Every structure is written in structure tokens, then in C-alpha cells.
Amino acid sequence: MLKLIWLIPILPLAGVAINGLFGKRLSRRAVGLIGCGVVLAALLVSAGAVLELSRLPEDARYFETSLGTWIPMGPIGDSGTMTAIPWGFALDPLSSIMILVVTGVGFLIHVYSVGYMEHEDGFARFFVYMNLFMAMMLTLVLGSNLLVTFVGWEGVGLCSYLLIGFFYDRPFDARTGLSCADAGRKAFLVNRIGDFAFVIGMLYLITTFGTLDYRGVAAAINGGGDGHHALLVAVGILLFIGACGKSAQIPLYVWLPDAMAGPTPVSALIHAATMVTAGVYMVVRMSTLYAHAPEAMAVIAVVGALTAIFAATMGITATDIKKVLAYSTVSQLGYMFAAAGVGAWTAAIFHLMTHAFFKALLFLGAGSVIHGQHGEQDITKMGGLRSKLPVTFATFITATLAIAGIFPLAGFFSKDEILWGAWSSGNKIVWGVLALSAGLTAFYMFRLTFLVFYGKYRGEHHTFDHAHESPKAMTVPLMILAALSVVGGWIGIPAVLGKTFLGRDVNVFHHWLAPAVASAHGAPGFGAEHGASLEFALMGLALAIALAGIGVAFVIYRKREGMAASIAQRFRPIYVMWRNLYWVDEFYEATILKPFYATSRFFAGFDRFVIDGLVNATGIVADITGQLLKLFQTGYVRNYALVFLMGVVAILVYLATV
């Protein structure tokens, strides 16, 4: 199966071809079958390939294949050897986790979509986009060099744009007046900024090391990377800016909340589980580089931690069910980056995986809620839906507990590992910020749960009366994801817990991933020994913070009606600030867009009056000349003949005199 890994991105592409070319003539059933089928096939191939990979000895778990040369190049940089960039695909422990997550979660969401999109127009178009996304995401994670990854990187960006703007004819956000198409455009443009930095980073890499191959770059850096320290820092930061765009980190996070304009399965698949994690994946992929550029890692850690708490505060006041989840996603991505920034690579990937499970589940649950209420998204108009949507409620609460980091659900283990990584690497401030945001996460997630599922319904009555549980196609994926959210963390039980309670280290995940990532030697604080008791204490502390968050949420939104309003009243400036998302959009508008528009207007005016004026002047001159020359156009052939003859005579006279 290993030899077939190139099939993994191609399979969804086949779905694109079939549905794209014949989708309009096929029945919805057939379209859905093909759309899900190809992803299932990709999942099976992936599973087979990973199984085969796991049978190899630990240090040989790497397989690379090429579909041929893509860009042949001359000698580049210091290497002096002829370089060529192949269409290379590689499978190693890191990408194996990614493809399993992508195809697995992707498949569940595809199945879910069949139910969710049942009544929408453009059914085939939706699955074409989704399949294309799968193909691109798999290209991204399987690419053996940065450029192939970049193809997938851009491809998923395109699909993201297409899917955000899927309902291109509908309005989206009343506050900013965006339409769905605008939201898509915003996502695309913000991503461009990041991609620009990414490309520059790549160019630096290839001109310096003569290769973009992950292994080649890693080898080059290990071999003589320290000589290029400044460059490595620069490249690290540039690539991280690219990751910021894709993974919605400060300052480029603004597109992700608006990306909720897309259909909910899209939010679940692209804007929660897979695409937005591409940045994390990429950073971990380049772990060797970052290990040699601690300054870049510091930047990542700071940005990640800031994003985590920053987004969490915005999540507290959001009222749109999907926006809450979106901010939560941004926050959790911040977590992952913080983990990567402190050198806890496996923790970042571990959290990436568990997050994919429970965040996808949350989104799908939210989708189910929305679906059940015929499109209502405002949580202030919901309440008491527990009875109407039992399956959704059960799965949703599981995911909420998981994201809050309650033992023994998946989130607990991954979050704990990140926190421990932050503490143990000496980044105590990062630890503090992350712990606080963990509490906030627990708070806003339970706020959401309470507002949606408990209390009295606050919307229109007939909506509540007609609210219904979703079809099987939607609930079954929910249940599967719920199960994963529960057990998903158990493959990464921290060594201290395993040793203490099970007598051995059962952190399978860590050992699986270890050969694929750099040991973060050289990063500050690593290697320092900490006692098991400290780890237990921190674990307990984190759990306590999460429980405290839940408790506060319970008090405010469950026990005392109206307390939320009075708190908001008392801390009005903070509330208003959070409510308006720190005015970041407005800030960008004022500092970037306004000057840009002004410049554009200036050049538009320049174009209209000067450039067009020149063009028009040409026309006017031609017209006047024409009017004059018209007088010579008598229409009498003999006049022309006479002039012709005059010319002949003139030439002859000239020739005779010369």
C-alpha cells in the first residue's frame, strides 16, 4: 500500500472530475455516493499505507515516491549541484497522522454533508469543492517538499474561498455588511498576505540550500545550519507569517470568523479540523529549522499564546453559535502554535488531532442545531433544545467537556501536554496565559451549551415546535466523532500518568511521532528535570481552572437569570470592547484599507483623467486629422490616380537629380 500513496490525493481528484463534469446530470444520491466514496477510498488507502509504515523499524519509517520532475533547474545557491523539484510525495509518522485525520474526519463530514446539504442548490458543486479540498489537503500533507506542499496550501486556500462563498448570493454579517462572497474574498486576500511571506521564505530556503525537500533542508541545517542563523530566523518567521494566514493567528486571524459564511460542514472540515491546522503542521514539519532558530520559536510561542487568550475573550461575548466556535478555533490554534513555539512538537500535533475530533464534532453539532431550527444561528434566541435534539445534545456536551479539558476526555491529555511543555521549557508566562485561556475556554463553551440546550426557548415558538433531530446521515458521524473525542486522547497519555497508574509509558503517540520531529535541543529550558509531583500539581491546577470556568458559566447562565446582563452592564467598556472584537476589523480598515482605498482612488482619478485623457486625446487628434484628410478623399478614382502619379513624378525627379 505504501507505493500507492500518490493515489491518496488523486482519488478525491477523480471525484472532482466525475462530479464536476457530470454532476448536473447525476442524481443527488449518485453525487453523494461518489463524493463520499472517493474519500472513503482515500481513507482506506491511507490506513493501509500507515499500517505498512508502522511495520517498518522505527528509524526507517519513511517512504518517498515521485510522479516525475516538476521544475528542472540549474545549479542554485551554494550547493552548485543541479537541482530539480519533483512531484514528490512522502509518508512518515507525521504525515501519516495528518492523512488519517484528514481522510477520517473528512469522510465523516462528507457523510454528514449528504444530510446537511440535502435541501440546498448546488449539491454537486458542493461535493466537487469538498473533494477538491480533500485532494489539495492531502497533497499538502503528503508533499515531500515545500513546493508541493505549497500547491496544496494554495489549493486548500482556493477551496476555502470557493466554499466560504458557496452561498455567494446571500448576505452574511449584518454588523460589517459582508455578503458570503465578500467573506470568501476576505479570506482569500488575508491569506495572500501570509502566502506572500511564505513564498519569500521558500525562495530564501532554496537559494541558500538549493533544495526545498524537507529531508534535504533538515539535513542541510543539521549539517551547517548554524552558519546561517540569521537567515534561519528570518525564514522561520516568514514561514510562520504564512502559517498565521492559513491558521488564523494574530494579526491575520480576521478572516476565520467571517469564514463561517460557508455551509457548516465546511466550517467543520476546513475551518476547524483540517485546513486551518495546516500552519501548525507546516511549523512542525520544519521543526529542524525552528530548533535552530529559537528567536523564531519565541515569536511563535508569544503569538500563539496571545491568540489563544485574545480569541477566547472574543468568544465570550459572541452570540452567533458558529462564531463562538470560530473564536474557539482561533484560540485552540493559538494553543497549538504556543506548543510548537515552546518546542512541544508532539503536543502540538496531538492537540491538532484531538482538536480535529472535538471541534469537528462541535461544528457538526452546531450544524445539527441550525439544521434543526431551519437556519437559526443566534444563541440568544435558542434555549432548551436538549429535549428536541437528544443525540445532538449528548454528542455536543461530550465535545464541550473535551474541549474544556475535563479528564479523561481527549482535550485533557492534549492540553495538559501543551501546558506541561510550556512549563517545563521554562516559559512560565506562556503557561500562565494558556492556563487562563483554558479557563476561559471552559467558560464560553459552557455558556454556549447552557444557552442553547438549557433554559427556555427564547426564539419564536413555532420554530421551537418544529425543531427536529437531524437525519441518520448526520447523527451517525456525530456519534463516531463523540466516541473519538472521548478515546482519542488515550493514545497520548502522558508518561507520568502511564508510569504512575499503569506501570509503563503508554504514550504511543509520542513515540510514534518522535522520529519525525526534531528533538528541541537548544531551545531554552529544555532538558531541565522536573519532578513528577510538579507535573501532577500542574495537571490538577489546569483541571481546577477548567472546572472553575464551568462553574462560573453555570452560575451566570444557569443559576441566576439576568446576571449576565448585569455583569455586562458593570464592566461595560470591556463588554463593548469584546463585543466589537477589539475593533480589530475597524483598526485594519482605518490603518490599511482606508489608505489603500485613498491611494486607489487617486490612481483611479489619475487613470481616468490623465491616462484616459491621453487615449481620448489620441482619438480626438485622429478624428480631427481624419476630418482634414477626408477632404482629400473625394471618392473619384482619378483624383487618387493623379496624386499617385504626382508621387511617381516626384520620385522620378528625385532619382533623376540624385
Among 534, 563, 615, 653, binds other proteins (CB under 8 A): 653
Return the number of the residue (565 or 643) whose C-beta is nearest other proteins: 643
188-200 burial code (b ≥16 CB/10 A, e <16): bebbebbbebbbb
Return the number of the residue (501 or 654) whose C-beta is nearest other proteins: 654
Residue 320 pairs in a beta bridge with: 378
Return the number of the residue (622 or 649) whose C-beta is nearest other proteins: 649
Per rule CB under 8 A, is residue 645 in the interface with other proteins?
yes
| Residue listed under C-alpha cell 508518561 | 495
Return the number of the residue (548 or 653) whose C-beta is nearest other proteins: 653
Among 21, 555, 629, 648, binds other proteins (CB under 8 A): 648
Per rule CB under 8 A, is residue 590 in the interface with other proteins?
no
101 vs 95: CA distance, rounded Å: 10
Site residues for other proteins, 47-106, by CB under 8 A, read none
Q: Which stretch binds other proteins (CB under 8 A): 18-26, 52-60, 132-140, 648-656?
A: 648-656
Helices (H), 390-527: 390-404, 410-424, 428-453, 461-466, 472-487, 495-497, 508-513
Cell of 538: 500542574
Q: Which stretch binds other proteins (CB under 8 A): 143-151, 392-400, 517-525, 649-657?
A: 649-657
Angstrom CA distances, 49 to 359, 508, 534, 577, 594, stand at 26, 18, 40, 50, 51
Q: Which stretch binds other proteins (CB under 8 A): 3-11, 326-334, 463-471, 642-650?
A: 642-650
Return the number of the residue (548 or 622) whose C-beta is nearest other proteins: 622
Q: What's the closest the beta carbon of residue 28 comes to other proteins, in angstroms?
A: 56
Give the phi and the psi of residue 652 in degrees, each rounded to 5: -65, -45
Return the number of the residue (618 or 633) whose C-beta is nearest other proteins: 633
Q: What's the closest the beta carbon of residue 641 comes to other proteins, in angstroms?
A: 6
DSSP 3-state helix, strand, coil percentages of the chain (rounded to 5)? 75, 5, 20
Angstrom CA distances, 533 to 106, 433, 500, 536, 539, stand at 40, 22, 11, 5, 10
Q: What's the closest the beta carbon of residue 620 comes to other proteins, in angstroms?
A: 19
Return the number of the residue (566 or 639) whose C-beta is nearest other proteins: 639
Q: What's the closest the beta carbon of residue 623 comes to other proteins, in angstroms?
A: 14
Count of residues engaged in binding other proteins, rule: CB under 8 A: 17
Site residues for other proteins, 609-638, by CB under 8 A, read 630, 633-638
Q: Which stretch binds other proteins (CB under 8 A): 99-107, 428-436, 515-523, 640-648?
A: 640-648
| Residue listed under C-alpha cell 551554494 | 78
Return the number of the residue (207 or 634) whose C-beta is nearest other proteins: 634
Q: Which stretch binds other proteins (CB under 8 A): 122-130, 291-299, 404-412, 646-654?
A: 646-654
Report whether 403 contacts 441 (CB < 8 A): yes
Return the number of the residue (82 or 645) whose C-beta is nearest other proteins: 645
Radius of gyration of the chain (CA): 29
Q: What's the closest the beta carbon of residue 625 comes to other proteins, in angstroms?
A: 15
| Residue listed under C-alpha cell 508569544 | 302
Helices (H), 117-213: 123-142, 146-164, 180-209
Site residues for other proteins, 312-351, by CB under 8 A, read none
Return the number of the residue (570 or 630) whose C-beta is nearest other proteins: 630
Angstrom CA distances, 504 to 180, 417, 509, 533, stand at 52, 17, 14, 17
Cell of 255: 478572516
Q: What's the closest the beta carbon of residue 628 comes to other proteins, in angstroms?
A: 13
Q: What's the closest the beta carbon of residue 652 comes to other proteins, in angstroms?
A: 5
Return the number of the residue (501 or 636) whose C-beta is nearest other proteins: 636
Please state the length of the chain. 658
Q: What's the closest the beta carbon of residue 631 comes to other proteins, in angstroms?
A: 10
Which run of H or E residues covers position 172? strand 171-173
34 vs 592: CA distance, rounded Å: 44
527: region left, alpha or beta (phi > 0 left; psi from -120 to 50 alpha): left
What residues make contact with other proteins under the rule CB under 8 A? 630, 633-639, 641-642, 645-646, 648-649, 652-653, 656
